[in-house]
Amino acid sequence: MTSSTMNNFYLPEGLPSPAPEPDGVSAPYWAGLRDGRLLVQRCGHCGGWQFGPEWICHQCLTFDPAWVEVKPSGRIYSWERVWHPVHPALKDRGPYLAVLVELPEAGHVRMVGNLLGDPLQDVRVGAQVTGVFEHHTDATPAFSLLHWQCE
């Protein structure tokens, strides 16, 4: 299964929008998602991977690690099913699933997303998942998220 784009939003609109910090360290990541590409940092000097973004490679201390495109494919490292909403936009949403996904092909960096499908599904740590981009083109500023779906 290849990565795809979804038409409906997994969570209702109204949550805060992600945006790069003023110093721009994460700007390539968010710009990549908007283009339907998953970019993470990989140091051009030592080859070390890292996420979240930083100005320096934590392994060899070379500045400005490169951004490389990786396949949005990984496996579930942990998960949670949220029942108690804490944001007004989620009040009537019912339970939803968040997963922590590790990317074995990108140095096992991890990222959080939602697990698409039945929110009451059984979730298995180690399950293979594929990324699904969710584009909020009408938001101000526009942004994109990366969710996950079991293969």
Partner 1 sequence: MTARTLRGRVAVVGIGETSYYKHGQSPDAEFKLALKAILAACADAGIGAHEIDGFASYSDDRSEATRLASALGLPRLRSATMQWGGGGGGCCAAVANGAAAIATGQADCVVVFRSLAQGQHGRFGQSAAGGTMSGEKSYLVPYGVISPPQRFAMRARRYMEEHGVRQEALRAIALASYLHAQNNPRAVMQGRPLDAARYDASRWIVEPFHLYDCCMENDGAAAIVLVDAERAGEFAHKPVYLLGAASGASSRFATHAHNSPAYASANFTTLAPELYRMAKVSPSDVGVVQSYENFTGGVVMALAEHGFFTPAQANEFLTLENLIAPDGRLPLNTSGGNLAECYMHGFELVLEAVRQVRGTSCNQAPRNDVALVIGGPMVAPASDLLLGSAAAL
Positions touching partner 1 (CB under 8 A) are 11, 14-22, 26, 30, 50-53, 58, 77-84, 86-88, 90, 96, 98, 100, 109-114, 125, 141, 143, 145, 147
Nearest residue (CB) to partner 1, 73 versus 76? 76
CB of 151 to partner 1, least distance (A): 20
Nearest residue (CB) to partner 1, 44 versus 94? 94
Nearest residue (CB) to partner 1, 14 versus 47? 14
As to burial, measured by CB atoms within 10 angstroms (0-12 exposed, 13-18 middle, 19+ buried), residue 5 is exposed
Torsion of CA 68, 7, 130, 139, to 10 degrees: 40
How far CA 5 is from CA of 8, 34, 39, in Å, comes to 9, 11, 16
